[in-house]
Structure 1
Amino acid sequence: MRIGLLRHFKVNCPHKRMMTSKEFIEWSQKYEVSKVIKKKVEMYGIKWDVCYVSDMPRAITTAKEVYDGTLKVDKLLREVDIAPFIHTGPIKLPFELWHICGRIAWLFRSRRQPESIKGTKQRINKFLDRIDWSKDNILIVFHGFMIYNFQKELRKRGFYGDKLKVIKNGVLYEYVREAVRDELEDENLTDLCG
């Protein structure tokens, strides 16, 4: 069994280098509704049996570009929301710091974050428990931080693939279950010997 994880196309939503907490909230709201910058995605000739996609517009637009069938839209695949880790008033902080500290606050279960690490894991496992496992090739189009966490849960369920630290927009990452891995290795040995 093969699962393809694809992060949505890059979102066309420029930002200031320095922002107050209020400006970061405003930018985040604008990001949710901004258009994406489409690009060609290498799908490696795989025939995907089913495509699950986050219900966010950027993910749906991406999925429609790479998959011809009916999309299975699921809000469980939404990105982990990020909120300012502190309220700064007029003080501005670097844009990257808002993201990094927001994710650290999520990791340490800060009440300022809309979702906890436990909530994210539960959401991923709820999704994994209800998808159609009878399909051989499952494509999932969603979001970077979710993919980062999602890959860990896939490994716990017997899949292998790259251990991702940076998830690029519009790049397909493949994970296969061990039985498939053994078959692929057998085929490669046969090709080499035969």
Structure 2
Amino acid sequence: MTVSNIYKLLDKMETVMLKGFPLPAALVIVNHEKIIDTLDKIRASIPGEIQEAHNIIKRRDDIHLEAQKKANQILTEAKNQAETLLCESELLRAVQAEADRIRQQVINDCEIMKKQAYEDVESIRANAINEAIAVREGADKYAETVLTSLDRDLSELHGIVRNGQKHLSKIKADSIAAMTSQKTRSQFSSQLTTQK
């Protein structure tokens, strides 16, 4: 059948509608069988090209629907992947932030330990200097005490030596005087003997 036959059938259907019994509110009573028969003839007279075009349009709609589903699926997957990447990115940022915090904490701890070590070294050095000064002062005091005691002992010994020297000088003088006196007496005695 041709397209003109389709138009003829449509005109026939219109005529059936116009010849129908009118009702209020723009309704019409028509012969049901005639309308169905005309519709069947229209369907049967649709050329193969139109049917194929209809099938193509239907397939196009199906393809479009499938493409829409696929696009929605891809979009959902992309959204999920983006959320995953975002979570991973946030996790990476959190890990990086924690690493930065730990590194800063280590630097701070090292600075504190370095400062404490420096203070300890300074304290040990100051204590060593104070102890050295105390030892030196103690040694100086001890040496002064020993030297003072030695000076006193030497002074006493010097006095003893002088007294000993004086005593020896006196003994020597007394001895010489005694010897001289005895010699003089001997000589005098000798002279007396000679004179007799």
Normalising by structure 2, what TM-score? 0.25
Q: Which has the higher strand share?
A: 1
* Greater helix fraction, Structure 1 or Structure 2: 2
Which gives a bigger RCO, structure 1 or 2 (Cα 8 Å, sep 6+)? 1
The TM-score with structure 1 as length reference comes to 0.26
